[in-house]
Amino acid sequence: MRIEAARQAVQDLPITPSVLATLRETARLYSTHYSTMIEGNRLTQEQVSNVIEKNHHFPGRERDEKEVLGYYAALEKVEQVATSGLPVSETHIQTPHALVMADGRKKTKPTPYRDGQNVIRDGRTRSIVYMPPEAKDVPPLMKALVAWIAKSQRESLPCPIRAAIAHYQFATIHPYYDGNGRTARLLTTLILHLGGYDLKGLYSLEEYYARNLGDYYKALTVGPSHNYYEGRAKADISAWVEYFCEGVATSFENVRRRAQEAAGSGAIDQSVALRQLDPRQRKALELFRHRTFITSRDVEALFGISQRAARNLLAAWVDTGFVIVTDPANKTRKYGLNAELMSVLE
């Protein structure tokens, strides 16, 4: 009930595109900082922002810089996939992982799963904390996980619970040698966004994990043995699901508070036109923040769709009056925002 109340409250706030873009970028930076911090990244929140936004470098922190650039790029990719509305696939997991392990500037291909055994060790004692399934079992387990995500959605399992179980099972399979924790958190973000629990992209569940890191690991560590084949696969994960849902509720309530503060500062536009926009149109408004017209290629890149789909979407927007054609040439056709919405951006 707390999750749904906060979700509805945020969805009902007609935040202006400029303020929304600012809050969304802040959430991305928070998510990047806290998710990489969980893995031992030493950059501060301010340094993370400087690396991403200003391309600053910090001597001796090159690996940390690479990690934050990779996670930020992967987070953007996840948001792009979520906007497309496509169901979760293994490629939607492998591609963000590739970005996580890159530096955010290179083109990447979906990474294959590990081909050998890996173990999770205690950083201090080096004793084995968890031994994941053998490499030969990873592909069928990942295929089964993706199939379960789709099945649970069809059967209307509440989205936060679906995301919690998927997070746990991905961490259990541990399909890569490195980057599993970050990819698990990206997967839950994707599932929440696809299920309508994106909250305009303003929350950072990673912040909740990082601020309760002991509880995070404790909740994930269940089962009678550190060996996958000796109990973890059939363990009672109620405590983890409760921990996860509490995190979603806490994160959503934080977003509601911040959004209401923005409303109190007069940063809310009450226009009927803005309230009536669908999610894709709201997101497309960002394209007009620094330009007077857009093309089908801009829409294609924003939503991760084909050129043809972008053109069809723009044609539909023209029909509804959301945009107008400013240059009718077939190859260079340009679109502008309608006058009423343009005044909202000013």
**Could you please report the per-residue DSSP string of 25-68?**
HHHHHHHHHHHHHHTT----HHHHHHHHHH----TT-HHHHHHH
- Cβ neighbours around 265 below 10 Å, total: 9
> Where along the chain do the CATH 1.10.3290.10 domains lie?
2-262
The whole-number pLDDT of residue 270 equals 43
User: For residue 190, what are the CA distances in angstroms to 77, 80, 86, 334?
Assistant: 10, 9, 11, 31
pLDDT at residue 31, as a whole number: 94
- CATH 1.10.10.10 domain range(s) in the chain: 272-345
Beta-ladder partners of 121: 128
Q: Which CATH number fits domain 2-262: 1.10.3290.10, 1.20.58.100, 1.10.10.10, 3.40.367.20?
A: 1.10.3290.10
The per-residue pLDDT for 268 is: 47
Rounded Cα–Cα distance for residues 344 and 285 (Å) = 10
Split the chain (346 residues) into runs of 10 and give each run's mean pLDDT. 90 70 84 93 93 89 94 91 89 95 79 94 81 96 97 94 96 95 96 90 88 86 80 85 95 85 56 63 78 88 86 92 88 86 68
User: Which residues are paired to 336 by β-bridges?
Assistant: 324
Assigned architecture for domain 272-345: Orthogonal Bundle (1.10)
Q: How far is CA 69 from CA 58, 150, 182, in A?
A: 13, 30, 13
